[in-house]
Structure 1
Amino acid sequence: MRLPLPRSLRSQITASVAVLVVVVVALAGLIIVDRIDHRDRTDADRQLAVRANKAQGDAYKLLSEGDGAGGNGGDDYGGLLAGSQSLVRLISGGRIIDSRGDQPGVDIPVPTADGLSTVQVGGQSWRSLVEPVDTTGDGTDDAHIQVLQDLDPIEQRLADNTRIVAGVAALATLVAGGGVWLITRVILQPLQRLRTGAQRIRPADTSRLLPQVTRPQEVADLSASLNSMLGQLQTSMRATRRFTADAGHELRTPLTTLGMNLETLQRNPQLPTAQRQEALDAMAVEHRRITALLEGLQILARGDAHALPPRAAVDLPALLDEAVRHARNRHPGTAYALHLAAAEPAPPVEGWPAGLRLAVDNLLDNAALHGRRPHGQVHVSLSWDAGCAHVTVSDNGPGIPAEQREAVKARFARGPQPHSHGSGLGLALVQQQAELHGGALAFSDAPGGGLMATLSVQSGRTEP
């Protein structure tokens, strides 16, 4: 059966400490009381032995006087009168010859064996020591001396000490419980601050965090962990909201165009073949635009929320070589030239291979689409310095004015003279991948005219 525990942590700590204190104090007190009682009983046995030794010298005189000698209770035989709360008896032939000391109100039975024992008579405890009397040669070999000590004082002392221990344990429990109750109020204040801060956070609030706590260390670590979790949740929420808003805004136009073309085809089943094909081609273009837009937004949303696959080692030279080969197939009218800096071995880069490939593909496509037409030329190079890898893509097109280069990194931004109906997310995706890999995207003038884009990523393992 489980004992019911208080609901609050403060009450649980106080109850636990109180139980611990009462157990420790009571146990320590009982051990002390037991040792004191043991000492008292040992002292009583020692005193019995001393009195029995003194009474041995008087026993022979009593036996020679006969029954009842010295029965007037006088102190004629010195050591035989043992003092207060004790009794000395001379026994011979199963009969009491004489007794001295404090006489009990009830008869104490004649002992049947020698040695130490405890006698219970009329609710009173006596400690008894029986020894044979040395009367060799007089025909009284069965004479014994019995010394008794009243144990009531020892029993009373044991009871008093036990009550003291109980009182001290109860008082210590109350004092410890009260002290812990007050102390835990101070100690648990940081947790109370976290609780209050958590109650103030609302689903619509994407910027509020829990209060910063510095002490105690455990609560500080909890605060940091919870704030980190809240930051990730808020980042994910902002990414989701941005994805929803961007998708709703950008999909409206292509979906409207698709709807109009579908309505045109439905209302005009006898539409000439050329016009029908034109409408279908327009719908295919819008479909590709919607697909590219959704894919781009999905990738951006995953990057914003850091919902990324595990990192892996990326072979940049191999990645660039493959990307350039595929770009030549996509843009046969553009001449691609790849130059890799001599570095053996190439510094390792840990990141997301798919993300880096996407960034490189977008740079290669942009260079072909916005470069010179026809006979465009794109130069691709890879170099390393100061722990960074630099992928440079330059074209021979009209370029982008310096004052507009930062603006084209924004989502849904297009150059001043776009040559395609792209989603406007290509450079935004490149910029995001650069940041996720600890680098940046920079634009400058190409040596032979046109635009040069440089994607820099850190070598080695980097955290976003």
Structure 2
Amino acid sequence: MRLSTRIALWAGAVVPLLVVLAGLLLLPLVGRDLRHQQDTRINDRAAAVLPGVRALLAADSKGRPKAEQTQQRKVLDAALDSGLRVAGEDGSVLLSVGPQPADPLAFPTLPGGPATVHDQGRAWRVLTVRVAAGAGGATGTLWVVAPAGQEDSQTAAVRRRVLLVVLISAPVSALIGFVVAERATVPLRRLSRRAATLDPAAPAAPGGPGDGTRDPDGAGGPAAPGGPAGHGFVAERTGTAEVDELSAALALLLARYDEQARRTAQALDTARAFSSTASHELRTPLMSLRTNLDVLAAHPDLPAAERAEVVAELRDDHARLLDLLTALSTLARGDLVQLDAFRSVDLAEAADAAVREAARRHPQAAFTADVPDETRVFGWEPGLRIMLANLLDNAAVHGRTGREPAQATLRLAAEDGAVLLTVDDRGPGIGAAERESVFHRFHRRRDSPGSGLGLTLVAQQVALHRGTIRITTPPGGDGCRMEIRLPSPRPDAPTVELPAGRDWISGLHH
């Protein structure tokens, strides 16, 4: 059933019910008012005929019939539309005119305000008044009577009018409710039609969470109502609060759906790239492992020197496989990281820890650190530690000259609204022609023992933190300097926006 039909039915049922309830409340009030008006008229009639009744009682007590008749006529003239009954002190009826109960016992004996009495199925309002003809004179009783059915007939007329209003209000209120509901639900029907045309396969609209942009406060939520949302849905304002809230909720739902779909698609792409790259890059070391194992199996009596050489090659291949898988999984983590994992990080503390860990891994190399007490950036702490570790490992491996051990110096400083990180070594350096290619996947020198992904991981983390990296020569002129600039966090909002597309495993990133 349509909403407008439901509203019409409810209006057609509720409005008559309210009219009936109002009538039930009104009828007793009307009856009371009518009774009060009738009692007022009875009292007025009693006041009007009271002088004549006194004169009638006085004439009766002195035995003057003509004077009595004259007073009776005066009483009748004053009563007209009311019933009158006058009784003397001995109970004899001196006057009985107008409509009144036929049974004398129906009349109240005690004086008081108007009371309702019943006689032969009829109801009467009777006012009883004790009358004294004068000081020491005769006394008697006056009854002023009016039919009580007059107020009942007027109350019945009010009841009929209420029922008539009920009968008319049912279809009228239903029609008005239907028209108003149809008009009020126009924005809702328009919203339903727009939602019905959404295509789940369509890409998210620009400005939604799928394009990597952030809202001004850095919260990472979907577009605000009225702005673009997922699947091209725009939460337009209609002026109806409930419809606007529903539209905004729908836009938020679609934006979250797009965000989750984007993350799922990115995770699938990363998994595919990981599988493809791993199968391709692991083929050579696995074949080498298989060859050396076949040699050991086919020649159990292999001389000790040759056996040791084969075992050493097996260890090297195993280490290469392990480094390759570790690097690929780390690249995958960087591909899947979201901005909600970023926070304020003390880069100086992370740099000190990275230098100590590098000295443990490379005891033959000499590391020094020149960092301030605290330098904060808005970043992904695991990614920053990966970047620092690979920079120092690269300096330890390639920062040697001849037989001298490698020497590396890490410096950290704030400069022009950015954090400047440099790692210097005293190795042979990198030629200008190779300074871009060293960040490519699997780029290795012939004598490099690594996987060729160390500097790729560094470049990935710099890109995720919206920084820059370049290779230069240290001030002394010898060796290599890795220079990285990361934006300093602003007090009002983060400065990091994740790249729109990330696929460092397959090398198709932007």
> Which TM class, normalised by the smaller chain length?
0.7 to 0.9
- Alignment match of 1:391 (pick from 421, 430, 453): 421
Is the contact made by 1:88 and 1:148 (CA closer than 8 Å) also made in structure 2? no
Q: Distance in 2 between matches of 1:418 and 1:112?
A: 135
Consecutive unaligned residues in structure 2, runs of 5 or more: 205-209, 211-229, 498-510
- 1:122 and 1:403 map into 2 onto residues whose CA distance is 126
CA spacing shift, 1:99–1:254, aligned 2, 3 Å: farther
1:117-132 correspondence runs (5 A): 117-119=115-117, 125-132=123-130
Find the residue that maps to 2:160 and give its secondary structure.
Answer: helix
1:110 aligns with 2:119: no
Distance 1:194 1:456 in 2: 44
- What corresponds to 2:213 in structure 1? none
**1:399 alignment partner, SS class:** coil
After superposition, where does 1:67-216 map in structure 2 within 5 Å?
77-81=76-80, 83=81, 87-90=83-86, 98-102=95-99, 109-113=106-110, 114-119=112-117, 125-135=123-133, 137-141=136-140, 143-149=141-147, 150-163=150-163, 165-167=165-167, 169-170=169-170, 173-189=173-189, 191-193=191-193, 195-196=195-196, 200-202=199-201, 209=231, 211-215=233-237, 216=241
Counterpart-to-counterpart distance in 2, 1:388 and 1:177 = 65
Matching residue of 1:452: 482
Asked if the contact 2:87–2:142 (Cα under 8 Å) also holds between the matched residues in 1, the reply is yes
Identity of aligned residues (%): 24
Asked if residue 325 in structure 1 is aligned to residue 352 in structure 2, the reply is no
Look up the equivalent residue of 2:347 and give its one-letter code: L
Q: Answer whether contact 1:26 1:169 (CA < 8 A) is retained.
A: no
CA-CA distance at 1:409 after TM superposition: 5.8
| CA distances 1:268-290 after superposition (whole Å, capped 9, x unpaired) | 63444347525632551354135
Is contact 1:197-1:210 (8 Å) kept?
A: no
Q: SS of the counterpart of 2:108?
A: coil
Higher alpha-carbon deviation: 218-227 or 368-377 = 368-377
Instruction: Report the CA distance shift for 1:12/1:238 in structure 2 as closer, same or farther (over 3 A).
Output: farther
Q: Say how many residue pairs are matched.
A: 439
**Rounded Cα–Cα distance in structure 2 between residues aligned with 1:418 and 1:124:** 127
Matched with 1:382 is: 412
Rate the CA distance shift 1:220–1:278 in 2: closer, same or farther, 3 A.
same
Instruction: Extract unaligned runs of 5+ from structure 1.
Output: 1-5
Distance 1:256 1:153, change over 3 A: same
Q: Does 1:53 align with 2:82?
A: no
2:319 is equivalent to residue 285 of structure 1: yes
Equivalent-residue separation in structure 2 for 1:41 and 1:408 (angstroms): 108
CA distance in 2 between counterparts of 1:263 and 1:334 reads: 34
Is the 2:124–2:146 Cα contact (8 Å) retained in structure 1? yes
Query: Post-superposition shift, 1:211?
Result: 0.8
For the Cα contact (< 8 Å) 1:48–1:147, is it kept in 2?
yes
1:414 aligned counterpart, secondary structure: coil
Query: In angstroms, what is the RMSD of aligned CA positions?
Result: 4.5
Instruction: Tell me the residue number matched to 1:3.
Output: none
Over 3 Å counting, the alpha-carbon distance change for 1:284 and 1:229 in structure 2 is same
The answer to which of 329-338 and 221-230 deviates more is 329-338
TM superposition shift of 1:181: 1.9
Q: What letter corresponds to residue 484 of structure 2 in structure 1?
A: T
- Change in 2 beyond 3 A, CA 1:139/1:201: same
Asked if 1 retains the 8 angstrom alpha-carbon contact of 2:54 and 2:133, the reply is yes
Return the TM-score normalized by structure 1.
0.74
TM-score, normalising length from structure 2? 0.68
Q: Distance in 1 between matches of 2:431 and 2:133?
A: 135
8 Å CA contact retained: 1:30, 1:165: no
Question: Which one of the candidate residues 354, 367, 371 is aligned to 2:382?
Answer: 354
Alpha carbons of 1:297 and 1:80: their partners in 2 closer, same or farther (altered >3 Å)?
A: same
Displacement, 1:56? Answer: 2.0
Equivalence for 1:366: 394
SS at match of 2:246: helix
| SS of residue matched to 1:129 | strand
Given candidates 416, 431, 436, the residue that maps to 2:460 is 431
